[in-house]
Amino acid sequence: MEIATALKETLEQILVKLEAPFDEVLIEKEDQNGTDLYRINIETEDPSMLIGFHGENIHSLQHLLKVIAWKKTKADFNILLDVDNYRQRQEQNVINLADRKIDMARKTKKTQVLPPMSPYFRRVVHLHVTNADYDDIKTESIGDGDHRQVTIVYEA
User: Does 1 score more than 70 pLDDT?
Assistant: no
Distances (CA, A) of 142 to 23, 70, 113, 154: 41, 33, 9, 16
Residue type for 105, please? A
The tens digit of pLDDT for each residue in 14-57 reads 999 999 999 999 999 998 778 899 999 999 998 999 999 888 99
The ranges of the chain annotated as CATH 3.30.1370.50 are 89-154
Distances (CA, A) of 43 to 4, 53, 66: 17, 18, 19
The tens digit of pLDDT for each residue in 108-134 reads 999 999 999 988 899 999 999 988 778
pLDDT of residue 111: 96
The ranges of the chain annotated as CATH 3.30.300.20 are 3-84
CATH code: domain 3-84 is 3.30.300.20
User: Does 5 score more than 90 pLDDT?
Assistant: yes
- Which fold is adopted by the domain 89-154? Ribosomal Protein S8; Chain: A, domain 1 (3.30.1370)
How confident is the prediction for the chain on average, in pLDDT? 93
